[in-house]
Amino acid sequence: MKNPAESISLSIRRCRLDELDSIMELQQHISDTMTNPDLFVSTDRSDNRDYLISPNAIFGVYDETRLIAYGSLIFPNDAPENLGWDLGWNREKLFSTATLDTIVVDPDYRGHGLQRRLTRECLSYARELLPGCNVLTTVSPYNEYSLRNVQAEGFEIQKRLMKYGGHERYILGNIPDPACEYPDFVPSSQAVSLPVENILQNPELPTGCESVALTMVLNYYGHRLAKTEIADRYLRKDPENFVTRFKGDPHDISGDGIYAPGLTETARRFLSEQNAPQKAADLTGTPLSELYPYLDQKIPVIVYDSVYLKTPVDVAEYVTDGGTWHFYHNEHCIVLCGYDPLNRRVLVSDALSGLVWREEQRFKEIYDALGRMAVVIL
């Protein structure tokens, strides 16, 4: 029998309060079909109703008008259900923490990446409301499919314990490393800092960090592009190729990305059409220390690192004439626009975090792990 999700276009949006009955019916259907009841603990009606009220949110996937999957994201503050209590966090940290509470997918629609799509939607929403927040979730150690999915989206195991009336669970966190960002950092007199105007990618381009980074650099040179112009007019797309094309759609949370070769060609298309004096160059393979001379010459550099400097997760590969490329979830693209040699910090214009100073060593580790991908406009 053909899976319905193969032939019908699915949509995702925030659920409304009047859809509570549909949420409860889908949850009951999931519970009834579970072969191992320990893997899933239902949420009661009153809690799901609370989750539909802002700032909490439930995002649903719809086959036309039918709800076939949903994910809930809540901001528990210092309430007892905040998973941060289990990790020994202080109250200040609890107030910068969200919980990815539940994700369920109708069995007839599994195998199409809907759990990961909803995870990304919830993460994007959480960080839009509370930039840099921690997001925690729980997964049964025996639910290998769900565990693999959330880990692919940047969650890391924090603790194993008994929860929800005697059910064994991992607490996992998608947690920006506070040791890697310095919002109150005061640079030394030796620091170099370029005036790159920051652009935040959300909500229009939830997976469009590469096109936004390119837009920031082009605007630095005076081109004055709108946020989505590169993504809409110059970015070539493909369902599989992330090396020379954008894999997916940057307007969609399920999009993946485009690597330095493709982003360089995107820049060249724009510059050629505009008869601009600048040229785009792919600097992939260049050590971080050799990018600093570009900054000294007032040339910002587009660099690939990871979201909040999380450890990259290798999830796909693509073979080209130049060899095999690996795609990493958590892959991110930012603009390197400064450095402080005395304090070992780098300044980046990040489409998720804004203009931030980061620890050079960790930044270098991620940059190296992703293949030292970099692009400049000269």
What average pLDDT values come out for the chain (378 residues) when binned by 10 residues?
Answer: 53 96 96 86 94 95 95 93 93 86 94 91 87 90 91 92 93 78 82 96 87 98 96 96 94 86 98 97 98 98 90 83 84 96 96 89 94 97
pLDDT at 1: 36
Nearest-10 Cα torsion for 11, 17, 21, 25: 50
d(CA 218, CA 232): 15
What's the half-sphere exposure (Cβ side, CA atoms, 13 Å) at 311? Answer: 6
**Which of 306, 308, 307, 300 is CA-nearest to residue 283?**
300
pTM greater than 0.95 (yes/no): no
List of domains in the chain:
4-175 (3.40.630.30), 179-377 (3.90.70.10)
The single-letter code of the amino acid at 339 is Y
pLDDT at 167: 92
pLDDT at 177: 65
pLDDT at 160: 96
